Structure 1
Amino acid sequence: MQSKATTVDQYIAEAPEERQVALQKLRTTILTHLPKGFEEAMGYGMAGYAVPHSIYPAGYHCTPHLPLPFMGFASQKNSINFYHMGIYADETLYNWFLAEYAKFSKNKLDIGKSCMRFKKPEDIPFDLIGELVTKISVQDWIATYESKFKK
């Protein structure tokens, strides 16, 4: 479900009422821990955090007029999703996250390549996500992106 919201505030306000507190807490967690240089904006119909063109003029190789995406969150039909390209691109970071997640939750993590799905807002490990957000700087992400994805 892609939103037509133009701001993150609008996106959260349009989400189902029972998810708004968790979405705002997720946003606050990300913004509190976000390394310098990443910028918050709407992208791909969800709240996103990207490397702006002012730092990385080439943009995203698939769509160069867009900034280089890094992470985001979305309110989907059956879950709140958190997306982090770093865990997709860096196996060590992925394995660290899985090991740490077990310390925060007894539930099995519903995870794809870069997407974590949380069916219940109370299952979101905000502290762990905050720590994950700090793990990759803008320069680290650009280097990883160029070595793994850009051809």
Structure 2
Amino acid sequence: MATKAAEKVTAEGEKIEIDKSQLDSILAQQEEMKATIALLTKQTQRDAEKLEADDREKTEEKRLLQLVKKANEEAEELVEAHIDMGSLKSNKNLELNINGVQSIIPKGQTVTIPKKAKEIIDNAKEQQAIALGIQSKRAKEAEDAIAEERI
């Protein structure tokens, strides 16, 4: 049984003959190469997208780190503060612990302290005022209930 031969023209214009089985093999290899190229292209695109995502993440991390550094620098900035003496029974000093760093601040004096310590003291005063307001409101409600003989 004779195999059919295919004619092919080379770049120089020369004709060559190859068997059909050889041509089929070459065409199959070409298809495999196309599939491999497509797969490598997809992988390259995924890698490029991952690199872009990583770059965006690193950029965001750098931005957040700068914000944290700036906030820390501002928190370490020194400000003046005055803490009222309070009652005679209260301690003469205010003890403050921030992230394991303990500070003792004298009451009744104007002192220079880190801004973060001042913020904590101010927040504590605000919370105390809110608590006293709630306590006063509840005491008034109790007095009214007693006066109206609901209790």
Q: TM-score normalized by structure 1?
A: 0.24
Higher normalized helix content (fraction of residues): 2
1 or 2 for the larger relative contact order (CA 8 Å, sep ≥6)? 1
Greater radius of gyration (CA): 2
